[in-house]
Structure 1
Amino acid sequence: MARHVQITIDCADPARLAAFWAEALGYQVQGPPRGFESWEQALDAMGVPPENRNDASAVVDPDGSGPRLFFQRVPEPKQVKNRVHLDVRAAPGLQGDERMAALEAEAERLVSLGATRLRRHEPAPPLGAGHLVMADPEGNEFCLD
């Protein structure tokens, strides 16, 4: 039996991180429940107080093929390196200088959205194609691969 996967990310500002990842992945912030025109309208109807309205957010693949990313507010800040991270496949099928140029271009775009560039790993054939290590606006590491 196939299972659906959701990736959950702890953070301080779910709305901000959801907006970043929606842009980074070509996803969209998940819309409000059926019958509501906006999240504000839905949260009003659910009785969610204003101070809890940014406790969670999610982004979804508009094609429905990628996993949902769910962002939940937690009180503690990120403290150590992620044990699990996302690889954003920004240069599939490319190799060498062409691959690294595509990764650099994507890194520039993501930095303009609030990401931070951390490290560059040069190609090391036969198994290492080269990649860039980045961090999202809250410091969660991810790779441009």
Structure 2
Amino acid sequence: MSSVKQFQVTFDCAEPERVARFWCEVLGYVVPPPPAGFATWDDYGRSLPPENQGAWFACADPSGVGPRLFFQRVPEGKVVKNRVHLCVRVGTGLVGAERLATLQAERARLVELGAVCERVLLADEENESCIVMRDIEGNEFCLD
């Protein structure tokens, strides 16, 4: 039997640092310390060739439990729906009106950060409510 592996989630994007800092705010993640020998990430960035400056950025769960998120600059923009998306679990264990109110409060906070609400899926006989969102570069995610 194989053991569980650590993994990271990688985002293709136009502005890696901007998108990474958005997700830090969404998830309570932090920017890891800069590489050894550099006081700041800006110092590190200036040490790179111009074509590599700002090419990537990362953020991590400060508790070490959640996956690292890695953001890499790509030349093309997003053109179709994500094949994989994050579900931000803010309503776990909640049902009905209490769950919906919690999701709506988080939606309001994230809209202030630049996210966009796509649609609200209200509870039915099979599923509890969730909210479909887009991050600051259009990547879909859910508040669940």
TM (normalized to structure 2)?
0.93
Unaligned regions of 5+ residues in structure 2, if any? none
Cα distance, 1:65 vs. partner?
Answer: 0.3
| Matching residue's letter, 2:140 | E
Instruction: Judge conservation of contact 2:45–2:54 (CA < 8 Å) in 1.
Output: no
Query: Residue in 2 aligned with 1:129?
Result: 128
Measure, in 2, the Cα distance between the counterparts of 1:115 and 1:106: 11
Q: Does the residue aligned with 1:143 lie in a helix, a strand or coil?
A: strand
User: Is 1:104 paired with 2:104?
Assistant: yes
Cα distance, 1:109 vs. partner?
Answer: 0.3
Cα distance, 1:66 vs. partner?
Answer: 0.2
Q: Which runs of 4+ in 1 moved over 3 A?
A: none
Cα distance, 1:81 vs. partner?
Answer: 0.5
Percent of residue pairs identical: 54
Measure, in 1, the Cα distance between the counterparts of 2:43 and 2:54: 14
Query: Residue in 1 aligned with 2:142?
Result: 143
Unaligned regions of 5+ residues in structure 1, if any? none
Q: How many residues of Structure 1 are paired with residues of Structure 2 in the alignment?
A: 142
Measure, in 1, the Cα distance between the counterparts of 2:62 and 2:33: 11
TM (normalized to structure 1)?
0.93
Write the mapping of 1:25-36 to structure 2, written as runs, cut at 5 A.
Answer: 25-36=27-38
Write the mapping of 1:1-145 to structure 2, written as runs, cut at 5 A.
Answer: 1-44=3-46, 47-125=47-125, 127-145=126-144
